[in-house]
Structure formats: C-alpha cells, structure tokens
Amino acid sequence: MDRNLAIQAISDRSTVWDCLVIGGGATGLGTAVEAASRGLRTVLVEKTDFAKGTSSRATKLAHGGVRYLEQGNISLVREALHERGLMLKNAPHLAHPLNFVIPAFRLWEIPFYGIGLGIYDLLSGKLSLGRSKMLSPSETIKKLPTVEQSRLRGGISYFDGHFDEARLATTLALTVSDLGGVVVNYVEVAGFTKKNDKVSGVNPSR
C-alpha cells in the first residue's frame, strides 16, 4: 500500500471508479473490501486516520447482541452470532473470546439470565465461543473478587468476542489494496461534482 501511488491514482481525473467509499471507519473499510472483492474499481478516502472516528471509541466487542434477545429479535441475534463466529474464525490474531460474568443479587435472576444466555449459546451453533454456566456465590466471587458479597445469590458466566479495532481496520485497508482497490487517508471529501443533475464525482481537499 503506497500512499504516493494512491494519491496519484485519485488525482487522475480521467479514471472512472465503480465505487467510491467516503470514510475509513469499520463500515467504510468493510464496504470497500466487499466492493473490491467483487471486482469493482474501488476507492476509499478517509479525512483523518483509518478508524479514528467512532470505530476507535467503541467497546470493541464482537457480540451477538444479547440485548436484542430480550426484545425477541431472534433472527438478528442469530445473524450477529454467525458474523461474530466468522470474525473469530477468520482473524483469530485480531479477535478472541472474552468471558463475562453477570452477578445475580436476586434468586430469579439466575434462571432468567441462565436460560437467556443458554439460548444465546444455542443460537451460535457450531461457532459457539464456549458454554454459558450458572455460578454459585463462591464461584462468582472467585471470578469477581470485588463484587458486593452480602446480597450475592450467584452469577452467570458467558462468552462474547473482543477485537483489536486498530489492527482490524489496518488489515481491512491492506485487503482492499491487495484486491486492487485504492485506500487513502488524510483526504477529505469537500463536495460533489454533478453531471445532468446526478452526482458524478467528488471534490477532495487535502
């Protein structure tokens, strides 16, 4: 990935691009990989550094959206768990399983979260990151030594994924380049050019 060559490529006004992606966060980089891998002439421009926006401020969890399970959105959770599994399978050096423990201070919380997270496990199928487990108070304290102990009834242990967003972003940018696309940072789209009332290009500012 050579920045000078990339600048040269985007400066050539005669080049016709099939796909222009504005913004090199998680969404833009992923979109550019998809476009370039389908053989589209792809260019991505990012006004600061790759993934410097919202993508660097996230919790970096590759999760199946456990809160959507509570809302009954099973198909969304199933799809997100599948994507989570693929991410950990395809990039084990960038994403890994992370163990969470929910402490329970009321007895009903143990079966409530236990059954919910059991369903979460089942929905992940073969791409499960590890089974969830109901914990006794002493097992919960072992995992969470600073937990409030006086009212503790137990806990639930479950797994989700955690990823390195900076390295993932860099890897996606390199992948776009390997696929023949152009990615360039510190180039801002300042406006659009139009032909016959339709957007035909952009005005970059550097």
Ligand X SMILES: Cc1cc2nc3c(=O)[nH]c(=O)nc-3n(C[C@H](O)[C@H](O)[C@H](O)COP(=O)(O)OP(=O)(O)OC[C@H]3O[C@@H](n4cnc5c(N)ncnc54)[C@H](O)[C@@H]3O)c2cc1C
- Position of tokens 């395809």? 90
Interacting residues of 53 by C-beta distance below 8 A, sequence separation 6+? 23, 25
Q: Is 163 left (phi over 0), alpha (psi -120 to 50) or beta?
A: beta
Q: Strand, helix or coil at 130?
A: coil
**Which residue stretch of 5-13, 50-58, 88-96, 138-146 sits at the interface with ligand X (rule: CB under 6 A)?**
50-58
User: Would you mind telling me the total number of residues written for the chain in this entry?
Assistant: 206
Question: Of residues 46, 84, 104, 140, which one binds ligand X by CB under 6 A?
Answer: 46
Question: Of residues 1, 3, 5, 58, which one binds ligand X by CB under 6 A?
Answer: 58
Q: Do residues 24 and 45 lie in contact, with contact meaning Cβ atoms separated by under 8 Å?
A: yes
Question: Of residues 53, 130, 137, 201, which one binds ligand X by CB under 6 A?
Answer: 53
- Please, which residues bridge with residue 189 across strands? 204
Rule CB under 6 A: is residue 193 a binding residue for ligand X? no
Query: Could you give the CA distance from residue 184 to residue 12 in angstroms, rounded to a whole number?
Result: 14
**Which residue stretch of 6-14, 49-57, 101-109, 135-143 sits at the interface with ligand X (rule: CB under 6 A)?**
49-57
Question: Of residues 19, 37, 40, 60, which one binds ligand X by CB under 6 A?
Answer: 60
User: Nearest distance from residue 188's CB to ligand X, in Å?
Assistant: 4
User: Nearest distance from residue 72's CB to ligand X, in Å?
Assistant: 21
User: Nearest distance from residue 150's CB to ligand X, in Å?
Assistant: 31
Using the minimum distance from each CB to ligand X, give the nearer residue, 42 or 55. 55
SS (H, E, C) 40-77: CCEEEEECCCCCCCHHHCCCCEECCCHHHHHCCCHHHH
Question: Of residues 6, 42, 43, 47, which one binds ligand X by CB under 6 A?
Answer: 47
Kindly write out the interface string for residues 12-31 of this chain, putting x where it contacts ligand X by CB under 6 A and - elsewhere: ----------xxxxxxx---
Site size with ligand X, rule: CB under 6 A: 22
Query: Could you give the CA distance from residue 154 to residue 191 in angstroms, rounded to a whole number?
Result: 57
- Position of tokens 């410097």? 52
Rule CB under 6 A: is residue 79 a binding residue for ligand X? no
- Site residues (vs ligand X, CB under 6 A): 22-28, 45-48, 52-55, 57-61, 188-189
